[in-house]
Amino acid sequence: MGASFGHLRDGTGALQLYLRRDLLGDEPYARFKALIDLNDFLQAGRPMRTAPASRPSR
């Protein structure tokens, strides 16, 4: 399983972005890895969930 982590920050706080190749599919995951560089501007949307450490995700 391939996975990538990212940290998204703005003026109100920060959150972690976790991308799994088995959920995205091989082509979209490879495209993401090829197109995204450090300090790129990203937008992400998905329902929030509770992290395994029982910390609320934002």
Q: Would residue 16 count as lying in a domain?
A: yes
Q: Would residue 25 count as lying in a domain?
A: yes
Q: Would residue 54 count as lying in a domain?
A: no
Q: Would residue 9 count as lying in a domain?
A: yes
pLDDT range class, residue 55, cuts 50, 70, 90: low
What confidence score (pLDDT) does residue 18 get? Answer: 86
Q: Would residue 50 count as lying in a domain?
A: no
Q: Which domain holds residue 13?
A: 3-35
Q: Would residue 53 count as lying in a domain?
A: no
Query: What's the pTM?
Result: 0.55
| C-alpha neighbours within 13 Å on the C-beta side of residue 12 | 1
Q: Would residue 40 count as lying in a domain?
A: no
- Lookup: tokens for 36: 């995204």
Q: pLDDT tens, 2-39?
A: 888 888 777 778 878 888 999 999 999 999 889 888 77
Distance CA 40, CA 57 (A): 22
Between residues 43 and 22, the one the model is more confident about:
22
Total domain count for the chain?
1
Distance CA 6, CA 9 (A): 10
What confidence score (pLDDT) does residue 57 get? Answer: 54
What confidence score (pLDDT) does residue 21 get? Answer: 93
